[in-house]
Amino acid sequence: MKRIDRSSKVRTGFHQAKWDEPIIYELSTPGERGILVGQPEKAVAEEVEGISAIPVGMARNTKLNLPEMSQSRVLRHYSRLAQQTLGADVNIEIGQGTCTVKYSPKVNDQLANLIREYHPLQDESTVQGILQIFHETDKYMCEISGMDHFSFQPSGGSQGIMTMASVIRSYFKDKSEDRDEIITTIYSHPSDAAAPAVAGFKIIYLQPDPRTGVPDLEQLKAVSGPRTAGYIVANPEDTGVYNSHVKEFVDHIHSIGGLCAYDQANANGLLGVTRARDAGFDMCFFNLHKTFSTPHGCGGPACGATGVQKNLVKYLPAPLVGFDGKKYFLDYETVSNPCAVGKVREWYGVAPVVLKAYCWIRSLGPNGLYQVAKTAVLNNNYMFKKLMELPEVSAYYEDGSNQRVEQARYSLENLTKETGIGTLDIQRRMMDFGMHYWTSHHPFYLPEPMTLEPTETPSKKDIDEYIETLKYVFKEAHENPEIIKTAPHRSVTHQVDESGMDDQATWALSWKTYLKKYTES
């Protein structure tokens, strides 16, 4: 029997499932049923009020518009869609720079199933277990960051930043100080500007020194003053470059009466190495779905756990989770200050997410967390060295002494100059090998950017496969650029016409809107 040759490191035979599956509403057949809901027994119907108990103003008066389909067809529909996604379970997620996509241990999903029947409105006495987990995770986060109390209410990174900006706003409201400016950097996550803007602040971006990749203190001093409410930054930034002078920045902001907030959504290179509070920051947040392994879930459920130093605890969103020595409880008292944030979301956090993060931390322990950081940094720097050996790849802000931390932004401008192939072309072609690849947040401050982040999850073999695939595609750029320009060829769909993406008049973000805009109703 012939053995299959698996010596090639590059998956040239890959092909994504391609089902040409319609929108589920297009599969609807009038009269077709998936479930026949049983009618209640006569005795029950006589006893219970039923639908008539719903207040008149809330009762539906139009027909429910759900697609009419059999169960097997629904099952096929969603299974096919799942096959058409290139998720973290099937591909090597090095290509998702700044997203920190690491392995989400399946055992934690199993453990989270234990609480899937819980409801946030249950009496506290019936959910002591999960409240204990919230409380202990809070303590772990404090130990990791140096902060004094965490809220798990923000359900995502941007909401975490929004919470930090809201705490800043509360603080100055309480002091009756009129400060409306937040300073950030262009390489911090765009939400470090967008979220405070939503919270009502004016945003000032610092630009990096073109040699070092980080802003200099003089620039900060030139634009900070009595209107500065806060300094909100990520460090290391999207480029992977670390500002080792960040404490001087913090000290300066403090000297003019402002607060400092650390975007630690991605703390993968810092666990056990450095703490937000030690750099002087007044608050920070972690993305449990990044650093702490909970699934990214394609936009949720997630958690932007936000922690503050003790003087700011009273402004956090309500409720916190407290422990009085005997029992766990929802603490509204500590955050009852009239200037406090109030709420950024219902309830006190997405329980399964906090539970999974708790399990991950417990399974690693403090030495394990430190090992995570070391492995992530090692993986990234191994990859960096290998990629920088390629003539097609370069990196800015390389002064020989500032190694990247856990991720790196490269530039493919050499490749583009030689072959005309750009970073977006490479992105599409990498999909033909079952790989993700990410460029940069917009706008592209660096030319032809490529931002990659291995995390601690991939093995050397995995990293090598990613590098070999990139090399393969770079070779194609020189020898057969057409195949890249017209990629993808083995993906779910071919090139999509993006020309209308900028035009709000053409957008349809739901089936309902699509019908309204594009069909006769």
Partner 1 sequence: MKKIGLIVNPIAGMGGSVGLKGTDNAAAEAFRRGAIPRAGDRAKTALSELLSIKEELFIYTSQGSMGGEIAQELGFRTVIKPEALDDAGKAALMDAGTLPEPLSKTSAADTKSLAEWLLKKEVDLILFAGGDGTARDVYQAVELSACCVGIPAGVKIHSPVYAKNPKAAGQLALLWLTGKVSMTQEEEVLDIDEEQYRKEQINTRLYGYLKVPKERSFTQNRKAPTPLSDAAAIDSIAYEVVRQMEPDTFYIIGAGTTTRGVMEILGLKNTLIGVDLVYNKKLVANDLGGSELLSLIKEKRSKLIVTITGGQGFLFGRGNQQLTPDVIREVGKENIIILATKTKLAALSGRPLFVDTYDEELNHSLCGYYRAIAGYGETIVCRVSDHE
Q: Point out which span in 196-204, 234-242, 377-385, 452-460 binds partner 1 (CB under 8 A).
A: 196-204
Q: Does 444 bind partner 1 (CB under 8 A)?
A: yes
Q: Does 186 bind partner 1 (CB under 8 A)?
A: yes
CB of 284 to partner 1, least distance (A): 24
Q: Which residues pair with 394 in a beta bridge?
A: 411
Q: Does 219 bind partner 1 (CB under 8 A)?
A: yes
Q: How far is CA 107 from CA 133, 201, 288, 357, 479, in A?
A: 17, 42, 16, 12, 46
Q: Does 12 bind partner 1 (CB under 8 A)?
A: no
Determine which residue in the list 116, 443, 509, 519 makes contact with partner 1, applying CB under 8 A.
443
- Dump the DSSP string for 344-397: SSSSSB-HHHHHHHHHHHHHHHHHHHHHHHHHHHHHHHHHHHHHHTSTT-B-SS
Cβ-based neighbour number of residue 407 at 10 Å: 31
Q: By C-beta, is 445 or 511 nearer to partner 1?
A: 445
Q: Where does residue 36 rank: exposed (0-12), middle (13-18), buried (19+ CB within 10 A)?
A: exposed
CB of 381 to partner 1, least distance (A): 24
Residues 447-476 that bind partner 1 (CB under 8 A): 447
Q: Does 204 bind partner 1 (CB under 8 A)?
A: yes
Name the amino acid, one letter, at 80: R
Cα(340)–Cα(173) distance, integer angstroms: 9
Determine which residue in the list 95, 97, 208, 322 makes contact with partner 1, applying CB under 8 A.
208
Cβ-based neighbour number of residue 423 at 10 Å: 23
Q: Does 497 bind partner 1 (CB under 8 A)?
A: no
Q: Point out which span in 9-17, 38-46, 198-206, 352-360 binds partner 1 (CB under 8 A).
A: 198-206
Q: How far is CA 32 from CA 22, 76, 195, in A?
A: 17, 16, 46
Cβ-based neighbour number of residue 277 at 10 Å: 19
Instruction: Kindly state the number of chain residues that form the binding site for partner 1, as judged by CB under 8 A.
Output: 25
Q: By C-beta, is 81 or 203 nearer to partner 1?
A: 203
Cβ-based neighbour number of residue 334 at 10 Å: 15
Q: By C-beta, is 328 or 396 nearer to partner 1?
A: 396
Determine which residue in the list 27, 81, 197, 364 makes contact with partner 1, applying CB under 8 A.
197
Q: Does 421 bind partner 1 (CB under 8 A)?
A: no
Query: Angle, nearest 10°, between helix axes 191-198 and 157-174?
Result: 50
Q: Does 201 bind partner 1 (CB under 8 A)?
A: yes
Q: Point out which span in 1-9, 30-38, 209-217, 231-239 binds partner 1 (CB under 8 A).
A: 209-217
x-marked contacts with partner 1 along 369-408 as a string, rule CB under 8 A: ---------------------------x------------
CB of 364 to partner 1, least distance (A): 39
**Tokens 């322990």 label which residue?**
365
Q: Does 205 bind partner 1 (CB under 8 A)?
A: yes
- Dump the DSSP string for 395-410: -SS--SS----S-EEE
Determine which residue in the list 101, 193, 267, 408 makes contact with partner 1, applying CB under 8 A.
193
Instruction: Indicate left, alpha or beta for 176 from its phi (over 0: left) and psi (-120 to 50: alpha).
Output: left
From the list 175, 223, 369, the residue with the least C-alpha distance to 291 is 369
CB of 192 to partner 1, least distance (A): 12
Q: Rounded to 10 degrees, what is the CA torsion of 78, 83, 89, 90?
A: 180
Structure-token pair, residue 406: 């856990």
Q: Does 210 bind partner 1 (CB under 8 A)?
A: yes
Q: Does 507 bind partner 1 (CB under 8 A)?
A: no
Which parts of this chain interact with partner 1 (CB under 8 A)? 186, 193, 197, 201-210, 215, 218-219, 222-223, 396, 443-447, 502
